Amino acid sequence: MNTRIYVLKFPKEVIDQPIISNLVKKYDLEFNILKATILLQQEGVMVLEFLGHKANVKKGIAYLNEMGVTVKSMAGNIHRDDEKCYQCGACTGVCPTGALSLHRPDMAVLFDEEKCTACGLCVSVCPARAMEVSLNGSVAELAA
C-alpha cells in the first residue's frame, strides 16, 4: 500500500462534481481529509492523504488532472532526530511499509528511508517527537 499527502486545487467549474467519490469507487483509494476549503462557484483546495496501491494512486491522479484538478505532492520525506530518539519502538507498530523496525537482540529502532512513503503515522505516535516530516522543503513537526 502507498500513502502520500497531496494538495488538490479544484477549479470552480468542477466543484459540483463527485470527484473524490469517484476516486474511491473507480480507483479503490482510501483517503483522509486533512484540510478542505471548497465553496460553490469558487476555487477549492483540499489536503488529502491517499492510501492505495501505487498504480491506483497514479491512475487516480491522472483522473484528477483530466478533471482539471491541480495535484501536488505535499510530503517529501520523514527525518528522525537521533538525538531525541530514545529507541522506544512505538513508531515500529504503526509503520505500514516496514521502514521502521526493531533490530534484535539489541532492540535498536532502524529507519530505512528508502522504504518510507512519508505517510506521517510515526510522527504522531513518537513520544519523544524525534520523527519529523519534511513538507515541500521545510521540516514541520506534526502534533499528535
Residues 16-24, mean pLDDT to the nearest whole number: 91
d(C-alpha 116, C-alpha 43), whole Å: 32
The pLDDT of residue 76: 64
Q: For residue range 41-93, list pLDDT tens digits in order.
A: 888 888 888 888 889 999 999 999 999 999 987 756 788 999 999 999 999 99
Is residue 31 predicted with pLDDT exceeding 50? yes
Angle between helices 54-66 and 19-27 (to 10 degrees): 140
All cell numbers assigned to 105: 537482540
Contact (CB, 8 A) for 60 and 4: no
Sign of CA dihedral 51, 56, 61, 65: negative
- pLDDT band (50, 70, 90) for residue 27: very high
The pLDDT of residue 2: 67
- pLDDT band (50, 70, 90) for residue 6: confident
* Model-wide pTM > 0.95: no
| SS3 at position 66 | helix
d(C-alpha 89, C-alpha 87), whole Å: 6
Is residue 143 predicted with pLDDT exceeding 80? no
d(C-alpha 27, C-alpha 62), whole Å: 11
- pLDDT band (50, 70, 90) for residue 139: very low
Q: Which helix (H) or strand (E) holds 56?
A: helix 54-66
| SS3 at position 45 | strand
Please state, rounded to an integer, the average pLDDT across all residues of the chain: 84
